[in-house]
Amino acid sequence: MKHLPLDNLESALGHQFANRGLLQQALTHSSFARESAEAAEDNEQLEFLGDAVLQLVASQELYQRFPAYQEGELSKLRAHLVNANHLVHCAQKLQLGSYLRLGRGEEKTGGRRKTALLADAVEALLAAVYLDGGLFVARAFVLSHILEPELDRLSGAGGEVLLVADHKSRLQELLRASGRPEPRYEMIGEVGPAHRKSFTMRVIVLNPGNETEFATVGSANSKKAASQLAAEKALERLQEINHE
């Protein structure tokens, strides 16, 4: 695949790299580094650093923005904002998949669209920005590309953020009210390095006769978050069924 010019990515980021090698490394998957004849470094160490920078910036920003929130509320909101699925939206807006350097196997299996791979690339890119431009530039990247768009989407009247709902509890309540059995959750996938795994969970919704009615899946950086995403999709499907 022909890659987009890195100048385009720098323009989208609003940062021109003094060390272009850092940007190249952030976009280099381990599969490319293994297969390449050149001495290419992959982005796994940058992912590790980027995750830490993201947690720090998100924590500081939420602490300053929402002084009335309790620790649990801040943690819940931060977990949503740094969730792998949310990072994928950021990657898609930046067209990050078009810049990645992948090995032949990853290329053939659609690596440019894989949730875990794109989320990791966002974190690696953040680390590269941090190392090249410092914390001020990295914070601007996090705010403009990761935090602000989602905080705006979640904001209600008066600027109050509507915290992410407990979709699992809501799904259980609705199923019980409609005479259906409790939903069943199972893990069907686990990918990524140890420090940044992505889990895929499936929720199975049964009809009143205890037979499978439908199933939905969700992927995130923890089993709990993936289960919540799967439950959220199940709630949407139930709503569609009720309106059919």
The parent domain of residue 142 ranges over 6-159
Average pLDDT, the chain: 87
pLDDT in tens, 83-125: 887 888 899 999 999 999 999 999 998 889 888 899 999 999 9
- Domain harbouring 218, CATH code: 3.30.160.20
Domain boundary among 132, 159, 186: 159
Residues 30 and 131 in one domain: yes
Q: Give 59 or 191, the one with higher predicted confidence.
A: 59
User: Is 236 a residue whose pLDDT tops 90?
Assistant: no
In the set 42, 47, 106, 123, the catalytic residue is: 123
pLDDT in tens, 197-214: 889 999 999 998 889 999
Domain boundary among 113, 129, 159: 159
* Known catalytic membership, residue 236: no
Amino acid at 244: E
Per the structure, how many domains does the chain have? 2
Q: How far apart are CA 173 and CA 184, in angstroms?
A: 14
Q: How confident is the model at residue 150 (pLDDT cuts 50, 70, 90)?
A: confident
Q: How confident is the model at residue 230 (pLDDT cuts 50, 70, 90)?
A: very high
User: Is 157 a residue whose pLDDT tops 50?
Assistant: no
The pLDDT > 70 percentage for the chain reads 92
Domain boundary among 124, 159, 194: 159
Q: How confident is the model at residue 192 (pLDDT cuts 50, 70, 90)?
A: confident
User: Is 70 a residue whose pLDDT tops 70?
Assistant: yes
pLDDT of the residue at 57? 97
User: Is 159 a residue whose pLDDT tops 60?
Assistant: no
In the set 51, 61, 120, 132, the catalytic residue is: 51
* Known catalytic membership, residue 123: yes
